[in-house]
């Protein structure tokens, strides 16, 4: 790559477009003071991205634009183009020619272009840094800046050398990596903050999902229990119905036969004129017995209805209490205990034909319900008032039935005594109709037994109807809780003999277990389970995504840390190698300039304490602790020949100028830039030193193009092309060029 040309338009004193072509290794720019020579060097700085207007000898961007003259209007903008030959692709752009252009407008705004495409200043800086070019530094050196490398601080000197060694590209990459690392660490904190925010919600949803899963398991368990219970109950209902029907048939036939026999016996006794009044007694007893049996049967049926109502009421109380339990009013264990007591009492009543025992059972049920209602159901919001009134009516009706039962029992006992007395009287009599009377008596006795059996079967049928109603109720409740799965029971898989020989208490225990599971399911609730599961899945997926994002970010952060370490190591290695190379060249140039002596640069480390401010306790206290950091710099050590002078402070002005030039040239030889601009760096040299300076210029041009702004004749003689800068009364700089080879040819 080489520098091809520079184009200025409207920049400072160059009102019109001016082109400088650099076709030789050394190009010299000459002219009187004030002609605008130094504007050439500043044009390079400007195009290559210099941001300090002060270093361009202005106060604001508008000062860089031609401000007009007597016959020339002021320009609206200033433009500078630097054109490079890029056939060797030193710039990472697929063009043989690269044009870097910068335009400044009157409002101070700037535009940057690479090959006429708008770019950012950063893009230009990175491209130039890759080719060891910058807007300032070791390759653009003015008269005042020649001494800067010696007068600079060790830290500034180190930065200048790093720039000259081409380490800026690594610094760019390291700074960019550090910026990316900072952004990545911020993103990690942000994502982790999001995960912390949603963690409690996920925890809550997890508990809800576990409850839903547990409820699902319980529904499966409930389905299996229901299937077993319902299958057995269906077999029981069917077989019990068939048994009642089977046993009722013969008894009804016998009842009708006995009725006919009684009628016939009565007829025989009525035709007998010798009867002694036993007939009337028998008929009376028979009639009263039938009435008693009918009334007794009615009372049994009424008791069955009351039992069913109390059973339903107990279920309703249990259901309401279970619902009330969701508000924390009734303990679940108490509800289950009351319900269990009522169930057990009703089972005992169903298994008994003893009216007195039934009365005791009903009284016990009444006491249990009343105590429960008093203790837990005083709030009418838990039990509807009409239900309470209905229960009080059932209690009164029960009391009335108990009274009637007592009367029936008294009558029954009296009839039994009358029958015994009549039988004894008949046994003592010698009536010819004794056989008819005995037949009538036996028929009536058997009729009482048959009626009792039929009444029991009727009671069993009523009980079976209640069982069937309960069966259908469980089907409905099961369908609500577990859906159609409740209908999956198969009664064909159940052994009939096992069901019918099994005590009903076992089936009651099964329904109690089912009820307990139903209570737990109702306590858990089931509304919106699909929404909860969906929300949980979305939340966990979101958390997993954030987790993967954190992992990716941490992986990126680790990679950036490795890259930063590698770049730091690379910078350190290249810097140390460069220092050694510079020292070799510095010594050679120094001894060439001074005819001996020694010169070198070396790294120094300075420990600095930096005060660290940290807010604590929300800014109430301030920590002013200090932390120590190590800062590297470069020092210069020289020794003049034949003198005891050591150190930069002891050098004369000329010696200082030669030393700085020797160091700058040494730096340039280590990593030669494509071009070097020297703006009157030879102004302080005498004739002898100018020749040495010229020799160094010639050597330097072997690796870099040189653009020399000079008054020195010796320096001019080393150039292949001379550009003359003139300025007339209009204040506009003009360019003239002369090629030495052509001038010499013409002269000859």
Structure tokens at 660: 């700085």
What is the residue range of 372's domain? 240-480
Query: For residue range 427-476, what is the model confidence (pLDDT) as tens digits?
Result: 555 455 667 777 878 888 888 888 888 888 888 888 899 899 989 988 88
Q: Does residue 222 sit within a domain? A: no
Q: Are 526 and 215 in contact (CB under 8 A)?
A: yes
Please report how the helices 529-594 and 168-271 are oriented relative to each other, as an axis angle in degrees rounded to 10.
170
Structure tokens at 701: 């041009």
User: What is the rounded CA–CA span in Å between residue 409 and residue 406?
Assistant: 5
Highest averaged pLDDT of the listed ranges 26-40, 51-65, 66-80, 103-117: 103-117
411, 446, 480: which is the final residue of a domain? 480
For the purposes of burial, counting CB atoms within 10 Å of the CB of 318, is it exposed (0-12), middle (13-18) or buried (19 or more)?
buried
User: What is the rounded CA–CA span in Å between residue 421 and residue 435?
Assistant: 17
Q: Please report, to the nearest 10 degrees, the dihedral formed by the alpha carbons of residues 539, 541, 542, 544 taken in order.
A: 120
Q: What percent of the chain has pLDDT over 90?
A: 28
What is the average pLDDT value for the chain, to the nearest integer?
81
480, 504, 527: which is the final residue of a domain? 480
Alpha carbon distances (Å) from 308 to 109, 390, 470? 97, 13, 10
Q: Does residue 109 sit within a domain? A: yes
Q: Are 65 and 10 in contact (CB under 8 A)?
A: yes
CA angle (94 as vertex; 89, 99 as ends), nearest 5: 80
CB half-sphere exposure, 592, CA atoms < 13 A: 20
Q: How many domains does the chain have?
A: 2
When pLDDT is cut at 50, 70 and 90, the band that residue 748 belongs to is very low
Query: For residue range 500-524, what is the model confidence (pLDDT) as tens digits?
Result: 999 988 998 999 999 888 888 877 7
The answer on 371 and 247 residing in a single domain is: yes
pLDDT at 379: 47
Structure tokens at 85: 């030959």
User: What is the rounded CA–CA span in Å between residue 707 and residue 697?
Assistant: 10
- Alpha carbon of residue 296 to chain centroid: 75
Q: Are 27 and 721 in contact (CB under 8 A)?
A: yes
- Residue 323 above 80 pLDDT? no
Task: Name, in order, each residue with C-beta under 8 angstroms of 545's C-beta and a sequence gap of 6 or more.
Answer: none
User: What is the rounded CA–CA span in Å between residue 701 and residue 719?
Assistant: 10
User: What is the rounded CA–CA span in Å between residue 493 and residue 509?
Assistant: 21
Structure tokens at 652: 């004369």
pLDDT at 404: 79
User: What is the rounded CA–CA span in Å between residue 543 and residue 562?
Assistant: 28
The answer on 315 and 441 residing in a single domain is: yes
- Ramachandran assignment for 57, one of left (phi > 0), alpha (psi -120 to 50 degrees), beta (any other): left
Q: Are 369 and 313 in contact (CB under 8 A)?
A: yes
Task: Name, in order, each residue with C-beta under 8 angstroms of 679's C-beta and a sequence gap of 6 or more.
Answer: 37, 38, 41, 140, 141, 142, 143, 709
The lowest-confidence range among 77-86, 646-655, 668-677, 707-716 is 646-655
Query: For residue range 267-290, what is the model confidence (pLDDT) as tens digits?
Result: 777 665 445 566 566 667 767 777
- Alpha carbon of residue 31 to chain centroid: 72
When pLDDT is cut at 50, 70 and 90, the band that residue 614 belongs to is very low
The lowest-confidence range among 387-401, 452-466, 478-492 is 387-401
Report the pLDDT averaged over residues 411-426: 73
480, 512, 545: which is the final residue of a domain? 480
- Ramachandran assignment for 643, one of left (phi > 0), alpha (psi -120 to 50 degrees), beta (any other): beta
Structure tokens at 114: 């690479």
Structure tokens at 738: 């002369």
Instruction: Return the SS3 of 524.
Output: helix
CA angle (62 as vertex; 56, 64 as ends), nearest 5: 35
pLDDT at 211: 87
- Residue 322 above 60 pLDDT? no
Q: Does residue 3 sit within a domain? A: yes
Structure tokens at 270: 């009525």
**Helix and strand tally (H, E) in the chain?**
17, 16
Q: Does residue 410 sit within a domain? A: yes
User: What is the rounded CA–CA span in Å between residue 287 and residue 231?
Assistant: 46
DSSP state letters, 231-244: HHHHHHHHHHHHHH
The answer on 245 and 111 residing in a single domain is: no
Neighbouring C-beta atoms of residue 113, cutoff 10 Å: 16
Report the pLDDT averaged over residues 405-429: 72
Q: Does residue 169 sit within a domain? A: no
Report the pLDDT averaged over residues 625-640: 79
The residues pairing with 80 across neighbouring beta strands, listed in sequence order, are 8, 102
Structure tokens at 719: 């150039």
Q: Are 326 and 523 in contact (CB under 8 A)?
A: yes
Query: For residue range 572-603, what is the model confidence (pLDDT) as tens digits?
Result: 898 899 999 999 989 988 888 888 889 999 99
What pairing do the DSSP bridges indicate for beta strands 77-85 and 97-105?
Answer: antiparallel
Nearest to 708 by CA among 92, 44, 256: 44
When pLDDT is cut at 50, 70 and 90, the band that residue 235 belongs to is very high
What pairing do the DSSP bridges indicate for beta strands 110-114 and 117-119?
Answer: antiparallel
Report the pLDDT averaged over residues 233-240: 92
- Higher-scoring residue by pLDDT: 339, 574: 574
Structure tokens at 162: 């790093």
pTM: 0.52
The residues pairing with 6 across neighbouring beta strands, listed in sequence order, are 20, 82
Alpha carbon distances (Å) from 675 to 112, 140, 592, 655? 21, 9, 23, 26
DSSP state letters, 315-342: HHHHHHHHHHGGGTSS-HHHHHHHHHHH
Indicate the helix (H) or strand (E) that contains 300. helix 278-324
For the purposes of burial, counting CB atoms within 10 Å of the CB of 73, is it exposed (0-12), middle (13-18) or buried (19 or more)?
exposed
User: What is the rounded CA–CA span in Å between residue 129 and residue 285?
Assistant: 133
Instruction: Return the SS3 of 637.
Output: strand
When pLDDT is cut at 50, 70 and 90, the band that residue 350 belongs to is low
Neighbouring C-beta atoms of residue 330, cutoff 10 Å: 21
Q: Does residue 206 sit within a domain? A: no
What's the first-to-final CA gap in the chain, in angstroms? 35
When pLDDT is cut at 50, 70 and 90, the band that residue 684 belongs to is confident
Task: Name, in order, each residue with C-beta under 8 angstroms of 47's C-beta and a sequence gap of 6 or more.
Answer: 6, 80, 81, 82, 100, 101, 102
The answer on 130 and 258 residing in a single domain is: no
- Higher-scoring residue by pLDDT: 163, 174: 174
Q: Are 698 and 728 in contact (CB under 8 A)?
A: no
pLDDT at 301: 73
Report the pLDDT averaged over residues 660-670: 84
CA angle (464 as vertex; 292, 472 as ends), nearest 5: 145
pLDDT at 106: 93
Task: Name, in order, each residue with C-beta under 8 angstroms of 364's C-beta and a sequence gap of 6 or more.
Answer: 345
Q: Does residue 224 sit within a domain? A: no
Strands in 675-679's sheet, in edge-to-edge order, are 140-142, 675-679, 705-709, 26-30, 721-727, 733-739
Q: Does residue 663 sit within a domain? A: no
Q: Are 43 and 707 in contact (CB under 8 A)?
A: no
User: What is the rounded CA–CA span in Å between residue 9 and residue 15?
Assistant: 6
Q: Please report, to the nearest 10 degrees, the dihedral formed by the alpha carbons of residues 406, 410, 412, 418 taken in order.
A: 180
- Higher-scoring residue by pLDDT: 649, 66: 66
- Alpha carbon of residue 20 to chain centroid: 63
The widest CA-to-CA distance across the chain, in whole angstroms, is: 195
- Residue 426 above 90 pLDDT? no
Query: E-strand spans in 640-732?
Result: 675-679, 705-709, 721-727
pLDDT at 200: 92
The answer on 367 and 254 residing in a single domain is: yes
When pLDDT is cut at 50, 70 and 90, the band that residue 527 belongs to is low
Structure tokens at 573: 């290695």
Go through 723-738 and write b for each residue having 16 or more CB atoms within 10 A of its CB, e for each that does not: bbbebeeebbbbbeee
pLDDT at 343: 67
User: What is the rounded CA–CA span in Å between residue 235 and residue 230?
Assistant: 8
Structure tokens at 640: 């003049």
Here the CATH number for the domain that contains residue 89 is 3.40.50.300
What pairing do the DSSP bridges indicate for beta strands 598-611 and 614-616?
Answer: unpaired
The answer on 245 and 134 residing in a single domain is: no
- Residue 103 above 90 pLDDT? yes
């Amino acid at each position: 790559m080489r520098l091809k040309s520079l184009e200025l338009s409207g920049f400072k004193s160059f009102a019109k477009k001016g082109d400088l072509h650099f076709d030789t290794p050394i190009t010299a720019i000459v002219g009187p003071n004030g002609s605008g020579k130094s504007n050439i060097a500043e044009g390079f700085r400007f195009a290559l991205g210099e941001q300090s207007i002060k270093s361009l000898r202005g106060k604001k961007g508008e000062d860089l634009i031609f401000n007009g003259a007597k016959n020339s209007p002021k320009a609206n903008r200033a433009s500078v183009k630097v054109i490079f030959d890029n056939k060797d692709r030193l710039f990472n752009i697929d063009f043989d020619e690269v044009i870097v252009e910068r335009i400044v407008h009157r409002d101070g705004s700037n535009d940057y272009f690479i090959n006429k495409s708008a770019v950012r200043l950063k893009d230009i800086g990175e491209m130039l840094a890759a080719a060891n070019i910058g807007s300032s530094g070791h390759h653009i050196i003015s008269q005042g800046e020649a001494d800067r490398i010696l007068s600079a601080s060790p830290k500034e000197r180190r930065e200048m050398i790093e720039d000259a060694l081409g380490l800026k590209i690594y610094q760019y990459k390291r700074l960019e990596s550090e910026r990316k690392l900072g952004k990545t660490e911020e993103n990690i904190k942000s994502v982790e903050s999001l995960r912390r925010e949603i963690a409690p919600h996920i925890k809550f949803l997890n508990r809800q999902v576990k409850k839903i899963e547990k409820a699902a398991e319980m529904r499966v368990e409930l389905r299996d229990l229901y299937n077993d219970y319902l299958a057995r109950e269906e077999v029981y209902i069917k077989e019990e119905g068939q048994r009642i029907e089977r046993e009722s048939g013969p008894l009804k036939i016998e009842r009708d036969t006995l009725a006919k026999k009684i009628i016939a016996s009565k007829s025989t006794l009525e035709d007998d004129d010798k009867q002694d009044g036993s007939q009337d007694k028998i008929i009376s007893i028979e009639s009263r017995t039938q009435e008693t049996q009918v009334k007794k049967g009615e009372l049994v049926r009424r008791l069955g209805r009351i039992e069913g109502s109390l059973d339903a009421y107990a279920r309703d109380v249990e259901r309401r209490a279970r619902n009330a339990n969701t508000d924390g009013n009734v303990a679940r264990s108490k509800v289950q205990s009351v319900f269990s007591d009522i169930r057990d009492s009703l089972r005992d009543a169903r298994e008994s034909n003893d009216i007195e025992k039934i009365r005791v059972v009903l009284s016990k049920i009444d006491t249990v319900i009343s105590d429960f209602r008093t203790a837990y159901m005083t709030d009418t919001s838990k039990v509807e008032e009409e239900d309470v009134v209905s229960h009080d009516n059932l209690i009164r009706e029960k009391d009335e039935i108990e009274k009637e039962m007592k009367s029936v029992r008294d009558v029954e006992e009296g009839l039994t005594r009358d029958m015994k007395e009549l039988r004894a009287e008949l046994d003592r009599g010698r009536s010819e109709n004794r056989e008819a009377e005995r037949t009538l008596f036996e028929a009536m006795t058997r009729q009482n037994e048959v009626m009792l059996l039929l009444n029991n079967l009727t009671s069993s049928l009523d009980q079976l109807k209640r069982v069937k109603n309960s069966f259908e109720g469980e089907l409905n409740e099961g369908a609500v809780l577990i859906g159609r799965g409740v209908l999956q029971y198969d009664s064909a898989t159940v052994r009939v003999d096992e069901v019918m020989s099994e005590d009903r208490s076992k089936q009651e225990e099964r329904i109690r277990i089912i009820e307990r599971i139903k209570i737990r399911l109702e306590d858990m609730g089931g509304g919106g389970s699909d929404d909860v599961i969906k929300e949980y899945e979305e939340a966990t997926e979101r958390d997993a995504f954030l987790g993967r994002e954190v992992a990716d970010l941490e992986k990126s952060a680790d990679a950036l840390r490795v890259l930063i370490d590698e770049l730091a190591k690379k910078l350190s290695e290249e810097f140390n190698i460069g220092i050694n190379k510079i020292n070799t060249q510095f010594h050679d140039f120094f001894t060439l300039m001074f005819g001996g002596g020694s010169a070198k640069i070396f790294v120094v480390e300075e420990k600095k304490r930096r005060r660290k401010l940290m807010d604590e306790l929300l800014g109430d206290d301030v920590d002013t602790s200090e932390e120590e950091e190590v800062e590297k710099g470069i020092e210069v050590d020289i020794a003049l020949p034949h003198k005891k002078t050591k150190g930069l402070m002891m050098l004369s002005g000329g010696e200082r100028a030669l030393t700085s030039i020797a160091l700058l040239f040494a730096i340039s030889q280590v990593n030669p830039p494509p071009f070097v601009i020297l703006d009157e760096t030879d102004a302080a040299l005498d004739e002898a030193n100018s020749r040495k300076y010229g020799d160094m210029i010639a050597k330097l041009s072997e690796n870099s193009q040189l653009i020399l702004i000079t008054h020195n004749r010796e320096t001019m003689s080393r150039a292949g092309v001379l550009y003359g800068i003139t300025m007339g009364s209009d204040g506009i700089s003009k360019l003239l060029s002369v090629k030495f080879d052509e001038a010499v040819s013409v002269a000859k």
